[in-house]
Amino acid sequence: MSNPTPNLTIKQWQPDDRPREKLKNKGAESLSVAELFAIVIGSGSRGESAVSLMKRILHGQKNGLSDLHKIPLEALIKFKGVGLVKALKIKAVFEISKRLQSQPFQEKKQFNSSADVFQSLQAILGNLQHEEFWILYLNQSNRLLAKKCLSKGGITQTVVDVRLAIKNALEIGATGMILAHNHPSGNLNPSRQDKEITQKFIEAANTFDIIILDHLIVFEKRYFSFKDENLV
């Protein structure tokens, strides 16, 4: 395959090198991340193709695609050649991906391990820059009845209403609950507050014969499980 000159527009490339033609003839797997985004944003800037523009943006991120996902809209707009429209298109791609990955929540998914829980939560919690506290409500077969975001907070903590969570469980008819929140700092070790709130949940849930099955702390592609560490 030829190596297109960055200063040429994509229309001036050889047909086999153009992202849209590659997607049509060879499938999405044949395209790089930059080429896929080039199709999404539609055009580059003066003297720079859409592919070169996306390569430049991705190259500037330590962890590539993962870090690009975290860039706020306001910061993304400031990249030379991006602007509001292209930035919105990039953000839309990540939101679609997030919703697709969290789709199992819409089904009566059964959770048999902490890995199962993490697989469903990673898209929701993995890359957030602030803390969120979520609860999965399960039936006696550990199948999902509902999932709810209980609270959203700052970078280091979020306020959790235990009574509201138990009220939701009773209304839904849940017999088990899985707690989950993220640590934007990347430190997966549970804090004293994490342990205390878990114990409060256990005590409150026991009153109504509801079991706290696990508590996960999530960061990107890693997690900590209270159950796996015999803390619940």
Give domain 108-225's CATH architecture.
3-Layer(aba) Sandwich (3.40)
∠ CA 102-140-143 to the nearest 5 degrees?
A: 15
Structure confidence at residue 5 (pLDDT): 55
For residue 102, the model assigns a pLDDT of 61
Q: Which CATH code for domain 10-100?
A: 1.10.150
Report how far residue 66's alpha carbon sits from residue 75's, in angstroms, rounded to the nearest whole number: 15
What pLDDT was estimated at residue 211?
Answer: 96
DSSP state for residue 48 in the 8-state scheme = B
- C-alpha torsion sign, points 24, 27, 30, 34: positive
Q: Where are the alpha helices (DSSP H) in the chain?
A: 19-26, 33-41, 50-59, 65-70, 73-77, 83-101, 114-125, 162-172, 192-206
**How many CB atoms are located within 10 Å of the residue 191 CB?**
13
The closest of 116, 104, 165, 108 to 138, measured between CA atoms, is 108
Tell me the pLDDT tens digit for each residue of 3-50. 565 555 677 777 778 889 988 888 888 889 999 999 999 888 888 889
Burial class of residue 58 in the structure, from the number of CB atoms within 10 Å of its CB (0-12 exposed, 13-18 middle, 19+ buried): middle
| Distance of alpha carbon 181 from alpha carbon 125, whole angstroms | 7
Q: What is the pLDDT of residue 157?
A: 59
Provide φ and ψ at 12, rounded to 5°. Answer: -90, -5
Q: Which residues pair with 218 in a beta bridge?
A: 182, 223
Place of tokens 């109504």: 208
- List beta partners, residue 132: 152
Instruction: Chunk the chain into consecutive blocks of 10 residues (it has 232) and report each block's average pLDDT, rounded to whole numbers.
Output: 58 80 86 91 87 90 81 90 93 83 59 91 86 93 90 71 93 95 92 94 95 95 94 90
pLDDT in tens, 60-69: 887 778 788 8
pTM (predicted TM-score): 0.59
Where does the chain hold its CATH 3.40.140.10 domain(s)?
Answer: 108-225
pLDDT at 1: 46
